[in-house]
Amino acid sequence: MGGLGNQLFQIFTTISYSISNKVPFVFLYSTSLGSRSTYWDNLLESIKCNTITNPEQLPTNCFYEQSFRYSPIPVSENIRLTGGYFQSYKYFQDNRDAICDLCGIREHKTDVKNEFMGKYKGKLISMHFRMGDYKGKPEYHPILPFEYYNNALSQIVSTRGEDYTILVFCEKEDELTVKQTVGRLNTKMRVEYVDFDIPDWKQMLMMSCCDINIIANSTFSWWGAYLNDSSEKIVLYPTVWFGYKIVSEVLDLFPKNWRKIDCEPPSESKGKLKLQFL
């Protein structure tokens, strides 16, 4: 259901439930979910052995998420987590490290560091721009304005200084717009654009190797920040996550030590779009 970020919420929740309740877990194997790729043959290859191809082998006792807020899942020896996004770290935080070990996340991160991160010197900030299909549905998923990224950098400069390199993550189709936005930022920091051809799961792990993460309203960069193991990391997220047509509370989405950054909508959108502010 959804892209890599959405899939990881469901996968981590399932494995955490398995660990906490001492029951086995399985996933239904497929090479894609609609138009979205799956990651059983790369990022998640370590748990591919826990996949099956026959849906009739899945548990029949289905559990449906009741709301976007965190709610404990009832204990059962035979349960199927379906019909939900499970987008809260609270579903798996207690078992985070064990799940990362099972999935081989740290080994993948080491490979990504060796393959891509060596050319970047000094302290790093990941900055993610999520546009793509958001452009056609701002009432559901607004594109974050320039002000969010500028406010985020201003907070970093005021507390940590400017001795950083910014790694910009975006899709190729949005390159021109993103470069125009980055060019307006009030900073003297060095800027590097991450190669569009790097597989998305490797880009996510590149984010997790940075010192500071400026995420978009996207589960993709949420996971880039969440998988960052640094005890000194700083994560900044926007006050706008959904548009007005998605009525979902995201209060349980962000860990307490992440920093919320004001996200004033662009002036031409004021009065036209209603936004949900956190």
d(CA 188, CA 174): 23
pLDDT tens per residue across span 211-228 = 999 999 999 999 999 999
CB 84 within 8 A of CB 73: no
DSSP string, 101-152: HHHTHHHHHHHHHHHHGGG--SEEEEEE---GGGGG-TTTSPPPPHHHHHHH
pLDDT over 90 (residue 134):
no
- pTM, 2 dp: 0.93
- CA distance to 2, 38, 83, 89, per residue, from 35 (Å): 9, 10, 19, 26
Token output for 55: 């849906």
pLDDT at residue 274 in the model:
53
Which CATH class name applies to 118-277? alpha beta
Nearest to 26, CA basis, from 68, 54, 63, 65 = 54
Beta bridge partners of 63: 81
Beta bridge partners of 193: 168
CB 70 within 8 A of CB 91: yes
pLDDT tens per residue across span 31-55 = 998 889 999 999 999 999 999 999 8
Average pLDDT, the chain: 92
Domain ranges (residues) in the chain:
4-103, 118-277
pLDDT over 80 (residue 265):
no
Mean pLDDT value across residues 1-25? 94
What is the three-class DSSP state of 100?
helix
Q: 241: part of which helix (H) or strand (E)?
A: strand 240-243
Mean pLDDT value across residues 105-122? 96
